[in-house]
Every structure is written in structure tokens, then in C-alpha cells.
Structure 1
Amino acid sequence: MVQAASVFALAAVAAVQAAPIVHYIKGDHQSTNTIEIVGGGEAAIGKHLYVSGLRDVATGPNYCGGAVISPTTILTAGHCAEGDWIEYVSIGSHYLSGSKDGERIKVKKIVHHPKFDMDTMVYDFAILELANATTVTPIEVLFDEKDAAGAPGVLGMARGWGTTSSGGSQSNVLKEVGLKLWSNKDCQAAFDKLNEPGLTPVDVTMICAGGVKGEDTCQGDSGGPLTVTKNGKDVLVGLTSWGLGCAEAGLPGVYARLSYAKDFIEPYLPKPAC
């Protein structure tokens, strides 16, 4: 969906039954590897302003995704925040780069989840504290595991910037793709069928979505939001984290599950009005 993430890029480094394993490998965040939405379409302009892009220069391209969760806070994936490359966040823009619309705000502090592990990808969360408040309305975070809005089988949406087909040219506009949520049990079973002992296990801190041929996040949109609809509006349930292959039938993508980071995220959320 966007350019390769931070100093850790997603890359296909092996092949397992026609599905390349997508791992995080050390590299340059400005590498030519692209992060793609496969099978998606252009998102409605101005409708999902909370979707954010992480940049090293104010008007440069987005190298990772994120979401506005408070006027001064962006939530992204922990692996995106490795290194010191994130300087700005582009908020509310429909475009991959530039300053045609939206806001560019300086990042003043980066906080990783204390349990984030780059090897196992557990607790793949990071907070970006902004130097100035955004005018964009934050997205609601869904923490309740029992809420039917985030149950297996529900249609989620992933959004970001990238190509509409594997290997195509990168899109300059925000795109989206619908992906059904999986149970962790079914997700792990799908990966187990590959008989690849070195694969990262599907942990309770993860949520899976997709698995329909030709529709997927491919090589990430690392840190980008996975949302569901509740009471007619988007709510945040996950962040793009890792996966196998690209838009392969029966192989969902893996996202960081927000319900397992409530204690980490909640202090940054807007306080309820009295």
C-alpha cells in the first residue's frame, strides 16, 4: 500500500507452495519495494481523514500508515517506528505525497509498546506524539473482544497508498479493500497447512483478515488501519502487521489486534466530556 516501512522493509524472501513468506528484513526505508493494496479501489475523498501517512520530510511520500486516535496522537505499527526516520505525519490527505490537502505535523516523540518484539511481531504497536494538534476528528478504537462488530466473518476495510495489482506502479491516491475477519484458530490452521516450521505463530495479539484471491494488503501498508463499521461509522480494530504471499486464496493477512493493547493505548485517547 505505501513505500517500504522505516529501516525495516517487508520483502518476499522465500516461496512456500506458491506463497512467498513476507518477513521484515533490515533495509532502507526508501527502498524500491512497494507496499500494496491488491484488488482495492480508490477511497472516497474526504471520508476517512483519520488515515495518516508517515514521512521523513514534510512533503515527501508516505512510507508507513497510521491512524489519528486523539488530536495529538497517531497510532501505528511498532515495526514502522524502528529507527529515527519518522519526522512528520500527513493527516487527512488523499494523496501519497505533497501538500495539496490535509495537514503535515511534526512528530515530537515516539513510544513503542513495551512488549513489542520484532522477531515474533507480538504487540506491534507504537504511539507518535505530535508537536501540534490536528483538526481531524480521531477514529474510535474498538477494544471489546465480545463486540459483534469485530467478530470473525465481519467485513473489515484496509486503507492506504499503493498499487491495485501486484508489481504495478504505486498509486498517488488513498485506496481501500474489503477483507473479512478470521478467527485466530482458523488463521493459524491456514498457515499450518504450509508445513513451514519457521513461520511466525499467530499470537493472541494479532487478528487476521482477507484470504480471498486477488484481494489483500500485500507487503503491508505497514501500520495502516484495519477498520470495521459500527453504528454507521468506522472503528479501529487492527493495524497492518505481517503476512504470507500476496492476495493468495486461503492465506489472510495478519494485523496487530488493538484489544490486546488497551492499557498502552487508552491513556492517549480523548477524555470523555463531563
Structure 2
Amino acid sequence: MDCKAGFLVFITLLIGSLALPTPEDDMSIFFDHTDASARIVGGNEAAIGSHPHMVGLSSGVLIRSNFCGGSLISQRTILTAAHCIRHVYSFGSLTSSLRATVGTNRWNSGGTAYTISRNVTHPHYVHSLIKNDLGVLITSTDVVLNNLVQVVPITYDFIGQGVQARVAGWGNIRAGGPSSAALLELTTTTIDGNECVARAAQARVELNMMHAPHVEPHIEVCTYHSPGRGTCNGDSGSALRRVDNGQQFGIVSWGFPCALGAPDMFVRLTLPTPEDDMSIFFDHTDASARIVGGNEAAIGSHPHMVALFVGVNVKNFICGGSLITQRSVLTAAHCVDNVYGINSLIRSAGVAVGSTRWDRGDDYALLRNVTHPGYDRWTVKNDICVLITSTDVVLSSLVQPVALTYDYIDEGLPAIVAGWGATRANAYTMSEILLELSMTTIGSEDCVARVSEAATQEGYPLFTDPGIEVCTLHSPGFGVCNGDSGSALRRVDNGQQFGIVSWGFLCARGHPDVFVRISAYESWLKSVIV
């Protein structure tokens, strides 16, 4: 098992104050160099008022340039792609000429332009990989709503293949032609994640673009249209919406040379697989792996085990956790990031207990979460959270709270951890059965040295703090990874929990796995446990 934990760094590109260059010039490596200004290709002119959520982002003083789209999701909030924000962010602030225009099908005339007070880019955005490519812009004043300006509803449902979708943007009517002043729209269809991975891999070879990023279906959704139709540069940041109900489920992110028959990639607005935004600290070629080298757990051997999920009709596994009372579930704070909406938990978030299969057992709704006040997603410190269920969890031979120990644990202690996930590396499908792995704690100085060496090798500014973290080490081929996060690290001799799966480097490659040290949080835990 080798655990993921990720918090990325992003933004900063100097843009001229008078005018922007061609749309998304720094992203042109993923688009047709002979058609740098192309946008929606093969689309139709949109009817006035058909996309009232549409926002045109432009910059420049003497000459204004439209560089990206966006969607209005509240009267002060615009959702767009992180790489779009990167265009107008320099020296620690947004360019003063940035404007967001709403209420018109022509970005350069009509409508109302608003200034932007600040931006919030996803903390795990990786520009070089175009992953976690989303951010929001906050307008200086409320956007006035009317029949041409409306907030778009967002859906957090997992979107699979075969869903009819629509995207709009400003750009060329034909490849290589002049930029259209009118908003264009295109209807397209989502495709299966594995199919998208295969088509993108084929495109990299056929188009000689081996430098292009890999598709990660757990954080990206793909569409595919016939050659001659698709999205392109200037469409970035625009909304991908369901045709049937108009809900937004994606953001135009990246693609290959425009409309040549390769898939178009969009940011998913839901989190269908474990800790997708934590992937920077793990092998990108093994984004879905969890416990590696473990064995199938016997029924009832981990009665404290909890699966954190989101979704109603289709449940999506997020993380592990441990039942510590009939109302309290202990997990990692970064897991709760994945199910936390606007100031509250996503309504469809829940926990399942009583089964070695995460999608079975008994489900319980969540009342609230209590994340440690010192949690720092950048350094992955104080990565601890308690979830409170809405009702008491019914105990049985298969459902029991785990005993916590607040003793300080040092090196050489045999321990065991369990989690759901792939039984082998490079697999997208997770195991239906709970897996377990025995391991041994290592000394603090040894862990600090090994983590420092791994951080230098992998280029991540991470460190371990022995006062609040405990480490284990296994031979290569064994360890924790993404979906194990939040699960309990327990003593083999008495079953007491002394750690929480938190973070690590490349899965099962011989680097230490880092766990939250429960003994460091005794006072806080006793104050919040119900």
C-alpha cells in the first residue's frame, strides 16, 4: 500500500499589459500550431439567450483579446480552467485589464463587463500535466441577473459514457478562418474513460506528440466527435453541459490538434475515484492503485473499517476510515476535501460499514465533519478529521469501534493496515474485496532521512514531522496508495489504532509511507469525538 497525498503548486506567467497573445499560447503544444486561434470547429451559431451562463474572459487596454470562456456559477463566482487564470496572473496578482463579459453572444460588444477582485486556483493544479485544471474568479461586484444572464446549475454526479453534452465558445467557424464574433455551440457525446485513454494514446503516436499528457479518467471526462468537429484553444474554461437538463459537469481543458478526430478532455466536476487530486505524489502511470502486494482480508477481521463514498444512484469510493464510536469516524482531512462542497459536506456523501466490499454493507448519512484546525493541505500536516454520522451506527460481529492508543509508537512495531483497491499496479479497476498488508514502523531519524532523499529525487517539497507523523517501510512492491488514505494503522499484537494513512511517494517503490500519529492529537480527539 503506498499512500497518495497531493497538493500542487501552480500559476505565474508574465503577460503584456496592452494585449494578450493568441488564446492560450502557452498551451499551444496541445493544439494545432497552424491554427493557433481556432476554437469551436464545426459548430453552429448559438441562439441569443441559449447560454445565459456564458462568460467571455478578455484582457488588454489598447487592443482587447478574448482568451478563454467561463461559466457563471453564482452572482460573484465564475468557474473556468486554471490555465486560463495563469494567463492573466503575474507578480502575485491578476492583470488589472482582466474583464469578464456576460449577457451577450458577442464577447467584444454588448453585454456587461465586470472587473475581478481575486482568483482561487485549485491547490493541486499541475500546469505541466494539465491536471486539476480548474479555478474560480470572484467578481468585484454582484453580477446582475436577467433573461440573458443566469447562473448555471452544477451536477456532481459521475458522468459515464454516452451522455449527450453541449459546449459553447467564441472562435472560428472553420479551421484556419477568421475568428467569429458570435458565440458558437457544438453538441457532442461523452465516451468511456478507458476508450479515451486508448484514443489519446493513439493520437500521441499518430500526431507525433509523445509529450502530450496522459488522460486520467478519474479527474477528466472526454467527448468525441467526428473529424472536423470539436473544441480548441479559445474554448478553454467553457462549460460542458448535459443536453437534457443543462447542468454543467465539465470544463474545457485540453486536447490534441483541433477537430482532427481525437478526444477532447474536460475537467470532471465530481470525484469518481479515490483522491484524484492527490495524484502528484504518486506514479501517474498507476493513478488508481491502492494496497499493493496485500492479501485479501478475512470477513470480520477489520470490523472497524469504514468506506467513505459519494453518490446516490452510482456510489463512488473516496477513502477509508475507522469507526471509533457509534457516531464518530476517524479519517484523513484530505479525504474530506473531496466531499466538501460550499461550506458543508456534499449531501450524497456517506459511509458504509460491515462488509469487506466497500459498495455493500450498511450506509449511513453524515451530519457534519470536524477537521483539525491546524490542517495544512500544502504540507499535508495535521491531516486528521472526524466525521459524525447522522444516526448511531448499529454494532454487530462485523461492525465494531476500534480502540485508539495514545502511546508514542517508535521503530520496530509490527502493524497492519487495510484498504480497498487494485490488486496490481497500472489497473484502473479497484478490487471489490478489502485488502490488508502487514508492515513495520521505522525510526524517526530514518524516516526523515528517507523522505528527504525521496523528496529530492521526485522533486516534491515535502518533509516528515516525527512529532505528529509515524512511518512504515516495506520492501518494493508492497505499500499503501491513493484509496487507502484515511484507513487505520493498527498494532498487530492488540489491534489498537495508532495511525491514519496520510501521504507518501510513488506507490510501493520502497519509499516510506507516512501516517498521522494519533498520540499527537489526544486532547483534540477527546474534545470532538461524539
TM-score, normalising length: structure 2: 0.43
- Quote the offset at 1:151 in angstroms: 3.0
Structure 1 residue 88 corresponds to structure 2 residue 350: yes
1:214 lines up with 2:477 in the alignment = yes
Q: Which residue identity lines up with residue 272 of structure 2 in the other structure?
A: Q
Partner of 1:20: none
Helix, strand or coil at the partner of 1:217: coil
- In 1, distance between residues paired with 2:292 and 2:405? 26
For residue 495 of structure 2, give the secondary structure of its aligned residue in structure 1. strand
Q: Distance in 2 between matches of 1:96 and 1:198?
A: 32
The answer for the alignment partner of 2:272 in structure 1 is: 30
Counterparts of residues 66-145 of structure 1 (less than 5 Å): 66-82=321-337, 83-84=340-341, 85=346, 87-97=349-359, 99=360, 102-134=361-393, 135=395, 136-145=399-408
| Structure 1: 4+ residue segments shifted above 6 A | none
CA-CA distance at 1:92 after TM superposition: 1.9
Structure 2 counterpart of 1:263: 523
AA matched with 2:524: F
Matches within 5 A, 1:42-53: 42-53=296-307
Which position in structure 1 is the counterpart of 2:212?
none
Of 433, 436, 445, 1:185 maps to 445
- State the AA in 2 paired with 1:207: V
Contact 1:219 / 1:243 at 8 angstroms: preserved in 2?
A: no
CA positional deviation for 1:40? 0.1
TM-align CA RMSD: 3.0
- In structure 1, C-alpha distance between the alignment counterparts of 2:439 and 2:474, rounded to whole Å: 8
Amino acid at match of 1:257: R
Quote the offset at 1:268 in angstroms.
Answer: 4.6
Q: Which has the higher contact order (CA 8 A, sep 6+)?
A: 1
Shift of the 65–42 alpha-carbon distance from structure 1 to 2, 3 Å rule, reads same
Give the superposition deviation at 1:48.
0.9
Larger % of helix: which? Answer: 2
Deviation at 1:158, TM superposition (A): 1.3
| Paired position in structure 1 for 2:309 | 55
1:211 maps to a residue whose letter is H
- Asked if 1:226 is matched to 2:226, the reply is no
Give the strand-richer structure, 1 or 2.
1
Cα distance change of structure 1 residues 200 and 109 upon mapping to structure 2, 3 Å threshold:
same
Whether the aligned pair in 2 keeps the contact of 1:50 and 1:137 (CA below 8 Å) is: yes
1:29-87: per-residue Cα shift (whole Å, max 9, x none)?
Answer: 21574241000010010221111000113672421010001110000001111123462
Equivalent position amino acid for 2:462 in 1: T
Matched residue of 2:499: which SS? Answer: strand
- Quote how far apart the aligned CAs of 1:193 are: 2.7
- Does 135-144 or 27-36 show the bigger shift? 27-36
Aligned-partner residue type, residue 504 of structure 2: G
How many residues are aligned here?
248
Q: Is the 8 A contact 1:70 1:268 kept in 2?
A: no
Could you say what secondary structure the match of 1:267 adopts? Answer: helix
* Aligned match of 1:166: 425
1:70 aligns to what SS in structure 2? coil
CA shift for structure 1 position 161 = 0.3
Identity value in percent: 27
Query: Match for 2:296: what amino acid?
Result: E
Aligned mates of 2:463, 2:452 — CA distance in 1: 9
Query: How many angstroms apart in 1 are the aligned matches of 2:378 and 2:506?
Result: 18
TM-score in terms of structure 1 length: 0.81
Matched, 1:154 2:154: no
The one-letter code sitting in structure 1 at the alignment partner of 2:363 is R
- The structural deviation recorded for 1:8 is 8.6
Query: Structure 1 pair 117/109, CA: closer, same or farther in 2 (3 Å)?
Result: same
**Equivalent residues of 2:472, 2:513 under 8 A apart:** yes
Contact 1:220 1:241 in 2 (8 A): no
Q: Which amino acid aligns with 2:403?
A: E
**Partners of 2:389 and 2:442 in 1: how far apart?**
33
- Bigger radius of gyration, 1 or 2? 2
Distance 1:126 1:104 in 2: 19
For 2:468, give the aligned amino acid: T
State the alpha-carbon separation in 2 of the partners of residues 126 and 182 from structure 1. 24
Give the conservation status (yes or no) of the 8 Å contact 1:72–1:133: yes
The 3 A distance-change label for structure 1 pair 138 and 268 is farther
1:88 to partner: Cα distance:
0.8
- The amino acid of 1:30's aligned partner reads P
Question: Per the alignment, do residues 77 and 35 of structure 1 end up closer, same or farther by CA in structure 2, a change over 3 Å counting?
Answer: farther
Instruction: Tell me which residue corresponds to 2:507.
Output: 246
Distance 2:358 2:404 in 1: 24
The one of 441, 461, 464 equivalent to 1:199 is 461
Q: Aligned partners of 1:262 and 1:35: how far apart in 2? A: 32
